[in-house]
Chain A
């Protein structure tokens, strides 16, 4: 009896609170518009050309503030960079070495198996230099960030300069449609024609945003192409095996069932 009453009360409560929850969600959730990506879906694969352009954007622009600690220069073979190009790239980065004989810090040219050089010596130093908030590491950013690629693209193209008339203005902060509160300390990173792609693709803000988003998704999930490919073969093999196994099982059990 008791239970029934409670259940009824519960149903009533759920019924009553349903409109409340829709009302409560007044600040519309930031769901970025969906973009079409080559790497989407269970069969998606990365476009290596886009990844290479995206790495260029990351290397020239993002990496001045954001680290990507989990990757080594060698990992870039995954976006189709040649061994020599990786060697040259690593060599062009000065990496902190061990203290010298008099205890002074040293630096040395990078090697292919060095991890990506971090722009700041520590998170604390980064926070101190960047207005209190350390720029997040980008190794897995595209996985951690809700809506991953779609959000990254929307965010990178979502700066409004000047901000809309009704937006609050805070010195040192920038207006972006896709962050909570619409204000962020990170200045708009991309500009039209800021870099030149060697393959001749026009470097518009949208193009750069697309490319660097692809690169960030790759960095967060570098084996996606191989994973999808291997997965397809494994599934085909298992289906073949399943057909055989079912036939074998049926044949075996017929002796019991048919009697």
Chain B
């Protein structure tokens, strides 16, 4: 705050740190690197509230790691002990119920924030050159986070954990040729028990830290290419940008506190809104609970899985819905990034959100009758949007004119 010179190219005008900080910085320039990337770093001046979710995801990730480590200290990964060890965390461990509540709420809201973050990328065309790698690392993170969430959901070893594991391992078994072997590697023995739980516990723990590593790549990529913005045009002059601190630190802070309020409300007052009550019954291989369904964040994919009559076909559809996103930078050839200037895409994206929600609702129901039709139509639309509409729109769409610069659009030219 004492440095008035935010005007220069970042890091160039920052006075060298003195004293101990300077001594360290000369030998290992962590302080100046931090200043360059998180204080003086310049971002487009027109980032809206949807750009808060990067910071929100970072904070929730840290919270997940911290609570996860402390929960792991009290968890037992055995068929006989897992359920009771989680009960003991919830009941007897001092402060344990709060740690577990944070971890559970955090998992749900992490996925929610991730979907919003992803949608923002879709809407404003953040996957286009030069941000393809940024987009790809983001998608890798999505897959890793989903795998981590799934593995984590196994750990309490309640009814939903057990039967979720059962359904997914059987689905993996539907892969032609290698399916049987894959299923066997996943379960680790002839039944879902100690070996399975132990593997998934280690996997869950390990994946969390791999996620941190890939987040490092993701953040590096955004600091190389710079942030996209709601207009989707690159900043040209310094007028188009603002420094990270104090402008976006203060804005992120407001977003974070609002997010924390939602987090708190769910965690303290409506803890069972997101949790599945059946998972409070211990795993029982002899009785399948009445309505098994995955956590809400997997429902759209579950809807796709159910909509295809063949087991392997369903698996392909669910996996394909994510794989297709990896090709997005090359499917959408339009030079215009932001959907603000692409009327057709804008409507198409709205439809995509509706299709995604419909798939989730269909995933909540048994795949029959109306819901089967809804799931198929929504699934068709989902793939149609990426594989047909976007490539066609690049050629046919009548786009709106782009402003000459960010500052001009903000009325500040």
Enumerate chain A interface residues (CB-CB to B < 8 A).
3, 6-7, 10, 13-14, 17, 42, 69-72, 74-75, 137, 139-140, 143-144, 146, 220, 222-223, 227-228, 230-232, 234-235, 238-239, 241-242, 245-246, 248-249, 252-253, 256, 259
Contacts and interface: CB of A to CB of B under 8 A. Distances in A.
B26 interface: no
Contact of B270 (A13, A42, A230): A42
Nearest to A13: B370
Q: Which 5 A-B pairs have the closest CB atoms?
A: A231-B268, A42-B269, A140-B280, A70-B87, A249-B250
Q: Which of B98, B253, B268 has the most CB of A within 10 A?
A: B268
B112 interface: no
B281 interface: yes
B281 A144 contact: yes
Interface in B246-283: 246-247, 250-251, 253-254, 257-258, 260-261, 264-265, 267-272, 277-278, 280-282
Contacts of B271: 227
B257 A241 contact: yes
Given A242-B261, A253-B250, A256-B247, A223 B377 contact: no
B280 A143 contact: yes
A74 B92 contact: yes
A17 B90 CA distance: 45
A245 B254 contact: yes
A181 B246 CA distance: 66
Most buried by B among A228, A238, A249: A249
Interface of B: 45, 84, 87-88, 90-92, 97-98, 101, 242, 246-247, 250-251, 253-254, 257-258, 260-261, 264-265, 267-272, 277-278, 280-282, 369-370, 373-374, 377, 380, 412
B26 to A, nearest CB: 32
B16 to A, nearest CB: 26
Nearest to A16: B370
A184 B380 CA distance: 47
A140 B160 CA distance: 15
Contacts of B258: 242
A245 B370 contact: no
B370 A249 contact: no
B250 A10 contact: no
18 contacts: A6-B377, A10-B373, A13-B370, A13-B373, A69-B84, A140-B280, A144-B281, A220-B280, A231-B265, A235-B265, A235-B268, A241-B257, A242-B254, A248-B250, A252-B250, A253-B247, A253-B251, A259-B412
B247 A139 contact: no
Given A10-B377, A70-B91, A238 B261 contact: yes
Given A71-B91, A227-B271, A252-B247, 20 more contacts: A7-B377, A13-B370, A17-B369, A42-B268, A69-B84, A72-B92, A74-B92, A75-B92, A137-B282, A144-B277, A227-B97, A231-B264, A234-B264, A238-B257, A242-B254, A242-B257, A248-B250, A249-B254, A252-B250, A253-B251
Contacts of A231: 264-265, 267-269
Contacts of A146: 277
Contacts of B97: 222-223, 227
